């Protein structure tokens, strides 16, 4: 397959063939840093950290770190696949209610069949992945914008969550499954906590870290990752050189579904009962974390680590306001201001980075 | 030529006939007739040129060969077998590599990622299967260097390259992966004189290596320099088909412009020149 190209100008690899080139000015480490998508978010995170260190007394305590990280992880677990999807050029507005739906399926299936909760957890995985696949297949078949398609599935899932729960349980929340077989082990996997010194760390933080690492590996070092950037950057070109565009998109939506399942199981096993109306609005917070983290809303650019920094900013802000003993009503204002500032900073950094190449 | 690069061509030539043949092919976009009854042969070690004005249907023609569009009538034969290409991937797998006029590159991605897009080499297996980044970088640099493009940095986004450099990356990529047939849509349109020369030299070298080349161009001079066969398109219809020994450059130029129209044009231009002097 790798045929040698016919030599036209077969210059031997001279001394400058081995990497040096007089036209290439030495790239300073600072410049390399400026080229990273997550730089804006890191600067923002430092600013938020300093801000609350000054204004919230208990913010710097070790125990607060665990709380902030936990808040960040619950958003971060979903921000990772949403960032990948955004790099691939699409949105998923159904992500928030899909988390709730996934938890509801586990809980109600286990309760109704009175089987081991692990059966419910497994069924929930299949059902949630099917929702993701549905989003992806609809998108690739109909060519409608993902905004419309996932807005549709968002509304449908919201209705299904409420309607089916009422129909099956008779109320808006599920019945307790804490006394069922398999609950303790499932709780260990999805909702346990470990203590390091005087810091309490929830297991979601581990899930989050693992997902960020996995997504970074996929993005930068696998063929699928290459295709994600290509599909988001120029889908026509990607198709022309043989990238399976449809499969890539469906894969991305199933990635969102998988993480929604992880999130949903955490929800279920940490609270035991699930409110069927939860999750509405969270989809925007995932998108905000990804955008703050440097993902280009038009696709083709961004990183998983950036989404993690975005989620961390979210965690610091939501808990920092509590520690500062301010009215939590201010949270949304802060989040909005952060979004604007971070995107402006990202745009500015990217322009600088590209202009100086 | 290297021994490695000629083997593919020998395989193709062994069959004797053309590598790719279009027979009376038509293509409609809704009610727009883009092509009607066009025939074309591509032989191993030969360059078939397709000439025509803007909108004549040249790009449409190669999109059929590249698997991007399906023809509505007529036959597409690959190695003598009637074929309908399912996708660009299908065409690539059959050894037809295409460089598009609206270059198929992803601007924000680094040069080396673009070079291997869709055909990335990997190492390791199972969950540890990963891109062979070192090989990708090195191959990209070497392949471009062979074309006379000495890139500063294969890590820069391809969108920051000049038009000529980008064209050469696309051609180098097609040649690197193209086993038998190379299709080029106006590769010299956006290039300066020197870069055009480099591209044409490279096209000729690909032919000498035994590839069959389809070269699409507006420029009869470029076509005549390297081509063996010439197909002229006019508003979707084939208006002429010649081999190199049956036509001269003047005749080709005249036929392309439409004989009498050109005579009139030169007359007008002469008059204009006379006025200004
Ligand atoms: N996707 C499409 N839908 C409808 N009409 C199209 C489409 N693509 C091309 N056409 C029409 O088909 C005709 C041939 O177009 P084509 O792009 O093949 O011309 P061309 O010879 O490549 O021109 P140029 O020299 O400008 O590149 C034109 O009239 C064009 O408007
Ligand atoms: Mg064209």
Alpha-helical (H) ranges within chain A are 29-34, 39-55, 62-87, 95-113, 117-142, 146-169, 183-191, 203-221, 223-233, 235-240, 245-271, 282-292, 304-323, 330-355
pLDDT value of position A144: 93
- Under the banding of pLDDT at 50, 70 and 90, the label for residue A5 is very low
B54 lines ligand 1 (CB under 6 A): yes
pLDDT score of A283: 94
For chains A and B, CB pairs below 8 A equal: 143
> Does the beta carbon of B170 lie inside 6 Å of ligand 1?
no
Q: Which residues neighbour A287 within 8 Å (Cβ) at sequence distance 6 or greater?
A: A82, A86, A91
Q: Please provide the average confidence, as pLDDT, over all residues in chain A.
A: 87
**Predicted confidence (pLDDT) per residue in B173-198, tens digit:** 877 876 689 888 888 877 778 778 87
Q: Which of A157-166, A284-293, A302-311, B104-113 has the lowest mean pLDDT?
A: B104-113
Whole-prediction pTM value? Answer: 0.81
DSSP A77-142: HHHHHHHHHHHTT---TTHHHHHHHHHHHHHHHHHHHT--HHHHHHHHHHHHHHHHHHHHHHHHHH
Helix H or strand E segment including B52: strand B47-52
Give me the pLDDT at residue A290, please.
94
pLDDT at B178: 61
Which pLDDT score, from 0 to 100, does residue A20 have?
47
Model confidence pLDDT, tens digit, residues A259-283: 999 999 999 999 999 999 999 999 9
Compute, in angstroms, the gap from residue B187 CA to the centroid of ligand 2.
11
Q: Encoding tokens for residue B230?
A: 């010439």
Q: A322 burial class (0-12, 13-18, 19+ CB within 10 angstroms)? A: middle
Checking if the pLDDT of B254 tops 50, the result is yes
> Quick check: A4 and B2 CB within 8 A?
yes
Interface mutation vs chain B, best among A1, A5, A243, most B CBs within 10 Å: A5
pLDDT at B48 over 50: yes
The predicted model gives A328-337 an average pLDDT of: 85
What is the pLDDT, as a whole number, of residue A207? 96
State how far the alpha carbon of A312 is from the alpha carbons of A67, A191, A286, B10, in Å.
11, 19, 12, 60
Cα–ligand 2 centroid distance for B53 (angstroms): 9
- Stated length of chain A: 357
What b/e sequence results for A245-278 when a residue is b if at least 16 CB atoms lie within 10 Å of its CB, and e otherwise? bbebbbbbbbbbbbbbbbbbbbbbbbebbbbbeb
What pLDDT, on the 0 to 100 scale, is given for residue A78?
Answer: 97
Q: Which atom of ligand 1 is nearest to the CA of B236?
A: 14
Mapped onto helix, strand or coil, the DSSP state of residue B230 is: strand
The DSSP H or E segment spanning B73 is strand B73-78
CB contact under 8 A, B146 and A242: no
Give B214 Cα–ligand 2 centroid separation in angstroms.
Answer: 13
Least confident of A37-46, A85-94, B104-113, B255-264: B255-264
Q: Encode burial over A125-159: b for 16+ CB neighbours within 10 A, e otherwise.
A: bebbbebbebbbebbeeeeeebeebbeebbeebbe
A298 chain-B contacts, CB cut-off 8 A? none
Q: Is the pLDDT of residue A299 over 70?
A: yes
Measured between alpha carbons, how far is B134 from A19 in angstroms, rounded to an integer? 13
The arithmetic mean of pLDDT across residues B36-64, rounded, is 90
Residue B62 has a pLDDT of 87
Q: Percent of chain B having pLDDT more than 70?
A: 86
Confidence label for B275 from pLDDT (cuts 50, 70 and 90)? low
- Residue A18 to residue A11: CA distance in whole angstroms: 13
pLDDT in tens, A107-134: 999 999 877 899 999 999 999 999 999 9
Q: Distance of CA B68 to CAs B59, B92, B175, Å?
A: 11, 11, 19
pLDDT at B263: 64
**How much is the pLDDT for B27?**
92
Lowest mean pLDDT: which of A8-12, B84-88, B234-238?
A8-12
The residue-averaged pLDDT of A46-69 equals 89
- Quick check: helix, strand or coil at residue B104? coil
Q: What is the mean pLDDT of residues A15-20?
A: 41
- Confidence band of B274 (pLDDT split at 50, 70, 90): low
pLDDT at B261: 62
The pLDDT of residue A3 is above 90: no
pLDDT at position A30, please?
A: 65
**Is the CB of B277 inside a 6 Å radius of any atom of ligand 1?**
no
What is the predicted pLDDT for the residue at B11?
45
Please judge whether B92 and A242 are an interchain contact, meaning their C-beta atoms are less than 8 angstroms apart.
yes
Residue B69: φ, ψ to 5°: -125, 155
Region A15-33: what's the mean pLDDT? Answer: 53
Percent residues over pLDDT 90 in chain A? 60
pLDDT tens by residue, B129-178: 999 999 999 999 988 887 667 777 888 888 888 776 777 788 788 778 76
pLDDT bin (cut points 50, 70, 90) of residue A18 is very low
């Amino acid at each position: 397959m790798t045929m040698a190209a016919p030599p036209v100008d077969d210059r031997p690899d001279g001394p400058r063939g081995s990497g040096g080139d007089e036209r290439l000015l030495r790239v300073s480490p600072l410049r390399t840093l400026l080229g990273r998508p997550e730089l804006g978010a890191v600067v923002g995170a430092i600013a938020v950290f300093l801000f609350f260190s000054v204004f919230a007394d208990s913010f710097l305590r070790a125990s607060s770190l665990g709380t902030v990280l936990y808040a960040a992880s619950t958003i971060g677990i979903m921000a990772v696949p949403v960032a990948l999807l955004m790099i691939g050029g699409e949105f998923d507005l159904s992500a928030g209610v899909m988390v709730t739906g996934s938890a509801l399926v586990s809980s109600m299936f286990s309760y109704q069949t009175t089987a081991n909760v692990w059966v419910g957890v497994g069924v929930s995985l299949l059902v949630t992945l099917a929702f993701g696949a549905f989003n992806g297949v609809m998108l690739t078949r109909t060519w409608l914008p993902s905004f419309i398609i996932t807005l549709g599935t968002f509304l449908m899932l919201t209705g299904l969550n409420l309607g089916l729960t009422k129909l099956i349980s008779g109320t808006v929340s599920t019945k307790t499954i804490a006394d069922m077989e398999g609950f303790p082990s499932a709780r260990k996997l999805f909702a346990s906590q470990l203590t390091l010194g005087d810091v309490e760390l929830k297991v979601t933080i581990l899930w989050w870290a693992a997902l960020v690492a996995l997504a970074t590996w996929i993005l930068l070092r696998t063929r699928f990752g290459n295709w994600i950037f290509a599909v988001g950057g120029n889908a026509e070109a990607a198709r022309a050189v043989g990238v399976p565009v449809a499969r890539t998109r469906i894969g991305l939506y199933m990635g969102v579904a998988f993480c929604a399942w992880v999130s949903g199981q955490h929800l279920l096993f940490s609270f035991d009962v699930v409110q069927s109306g939860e999750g509405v609005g969270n989809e925007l917070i995932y998108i905000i974390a990804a955008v703050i983290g440097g993902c280009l809303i038009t696709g083709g650019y961004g990183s998983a680590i950036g989404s993690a920094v975005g989620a961390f900013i979210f965690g610091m802000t939501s808990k920092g306001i509590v520690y500062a003993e301010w009215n939590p009503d201010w949270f949304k204002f802060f989040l909005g201001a952060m979004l604007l500032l971070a995107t402006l900073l990202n745009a500015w950094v990217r322009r600088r980075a590209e202009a100086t190449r | 030529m290297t021994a490695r690069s000629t083997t593919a061509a020998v395989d193709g030539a062994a069959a004797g006939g053309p590598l790719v043949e279009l027979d009376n092919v038509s293509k409609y976009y809704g009610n727009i007739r883009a092509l009607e009854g066009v025939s074309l042969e591509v032989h191993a070690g030969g360059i078939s040129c397709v000439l025509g004005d803007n909108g004549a249907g040249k790009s449409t023609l190669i999109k059929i060969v590249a698997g991007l569009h399906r023809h509505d009538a007529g036959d597409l034969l690959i190695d003598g077998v009637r074929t309908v290409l399912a996708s660009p991937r299908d065409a690539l797998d059959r050894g037809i590599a295409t460089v598009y006029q609206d270059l198929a590159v992803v601007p924000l991605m680094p040069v080396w990622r673009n070079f291997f897009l869709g055909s990335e080499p990997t190492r390791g297996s199972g969950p540890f299967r990963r891109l062979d980044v070192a090989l990708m970088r090195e191959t990209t640099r070497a392949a471009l260097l062979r074309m006379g493009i000495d890139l500063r940095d294969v890590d820069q986004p391809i969108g920051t390259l000049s038009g000529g450099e980008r064209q050469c990356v696309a051609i180098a990529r097609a040649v690197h992966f193209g086993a038998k047939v190379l299709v080029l849509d106006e590769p010299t349109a956006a290039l300066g004189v020197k870069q055009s020369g480099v591209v044409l030299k490279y096209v000729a070298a690909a032919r000498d290596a035994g590839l069959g080349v389809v070269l699409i161009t507006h420029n009869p001079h470029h076509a005549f320099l390297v081509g063996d066969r010439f197909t002229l398109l006019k508003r979707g219809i084939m208006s002429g088909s010649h081999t190199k020994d049956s036509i001269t450059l003047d005749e080709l130029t005249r036929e392309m412009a439409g004989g009498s129209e050109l005579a009139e044009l030169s007359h007008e231009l002469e008059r204009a020149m006379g006025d200004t002097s």
